[in-house]
Every structure is written in structure tokens, then in C-alpha cells.
Amino acid sequence: MKKIGFSFLLLLAITFVSVNLESCKKGDGDPFFSLYTRKARVTGNWKVSKLTSTYKYNNKTYETTYDGYKKKVVYTVKDTTINGEVTNYITEQTYSGETVTDYKKDGTYYYNETFLNDSTGTSITIEVNGDWYFMGGNSSNGYKDKELLAMQVTDYIYNPLIGNDYSTIYQGSNTLSVLEIYELKNKEIILKVNKTETINFTKYTTAMEYTLIPR
């Protein structure tokens, strides 16, 4: 049997490494190579360190920014009539608090956000339990396999503490959020949402990006 040349073995090794590096990198901001699987990089207890969001429908816009401690929400209504004059109505609210997500190894997750309105002193808490998993990609949607993260709600509790306490409680398995994994590192995750949907002839657009760091 002829000996396999060193050059051939080197070429084979380079090819093998190149293929595996390509399989590690999915999102545009992903590391070129990681020793951890994509599931292992998602799994963990995270907190939001930065967020920007714009939500629009009709002539209304909600713009949210968050730096990990303070959240600001600017609400704008364009071309509305106030005291007989057509103008833009703008309000701004600031909040203090945090948002955390615990992605568990078994494919479940727990989400919690608690914010205190800096002006009124009222508190708003949202708690969510659900299942998380990767979605497959294809040429039609332009995403690669495991580049989309699905979060399916099973329990949702919204509790605004505004004097007369009440809670909105949802239980089911039909509420699904799909996020683009722009960056998936062992110590940082960047997720994005860009969607447009029409409901009862009204168009709603959402553009959001947020960064997760270990809690």
C-alpha cells in the first residue's frame, strides 16, 4: 500500500476544519469558531444589557431604549388634533428595573421583567414560562439552520401594581416569538426582530435588537 502523502493529509485536515468552522458560524456577528455547541451557548441565566425597539401602527409609534438599568419609552402620535390644532402628541416615560431570561438545558425557559415607573412609583412585572428551540433555515427565508430562535409561551402573567391589583394570566401553547440570532457567543448574545404584519387591515411593524450578557 502506498503511503499517503503529508500534503494530502494536510489538505484533508484543512478541509475538515473549514467545514466545521462554517457550521459554527451562523449569524453575521457569530464568532468564527467556538468550542461550544449552539445549544450550550444559549443555555444559561442571562440579563438584557442593551435594547432598542421601535413599534409602529397607523400614526402611532413607541420607541424604547434600555441600558440595563434605565428604560425610556417615547410615545408619538403624528398629525393628531389637540385643542383644534393638528400637531404631534409626544409623551415620555422612564423606568428603572431589569429584564432576565433563564434558558434551561431541557429546552424550557423562564423570563422576568420588573420595572418601576420613575414618575408614578408604580411597578409592572411580567413573568413568562415556555419552551425554546432552534428553527431550521431554508433558501426561501434566507436563514441558515439554527439561526432563528423560537420562544413558545406556555404561561404568561402580567401584573401592574397600580392600587387595585389585578393580573392578566395566560396559559396555552400557541403564542410563538421568532428571533434572529445575530450573534451567539459564550458570554454575549444579540437577538433581533424585524417583522411587518397586517391585522384587520392595520399594518404593524416591529424593529428590535437587544443584547444578553451572563447574569
Backbone angles phi, psi at 35, to 5 degrees: -80, -10
Section 107-128 average pLDDT: 94
Question: Worst-scoring range by mean pLDDT, 3-17, 37-51, 99-113, 133-147?
Answer: 3-17
List 202's β-bridge partners, or say none: 199
- pLDDT at residue 14, rounded to an integer: 43
Task: Write out pLDDT tens, residues 182-215.
Answer: 999 999 999 999 999 999 999 999 999 999 999 9
More confident residue, 119 or 87: 119
- 22 and 15 in contact (C-beta within 8 Å)? no
C-alpha grid cell for residue 144? 441558515
40-96 pLDDT, tens digit per residue, is: 999 999 999 999 999 999 999 999 999 999 999 999 999 777 677 778 899 999 999
Please identify which residue in the block is written with the cell numbers 432576565.
100
d(CA 96, CA 135): 34
pLDDT value at residue 166: 67
**Plot region of 198 (φ>0 → left; ψ -120 to 50 → alpha; else → beta):** beta
**Cell numbers given for 49:** 444589557
Which H/E stretch holds residue 87? Answer: strand 85-103
Residue 27 is placed in which grid cell? 449569524
Residue of 88 and 3 predicted with greater confidence: 88
Q: Which of 193, 192, 195 is nearest to 182 (CA)?
A: 192
Residue 13 is predicted with a pLDDT of 43
Q: Model pTM?
A: 0.82
Whether the CB-CB separation of 133 and 150 falls below 8 Å is answered with yes
Q: In the predicted model, is pLDDT for residue 12 greater than 70? A: no
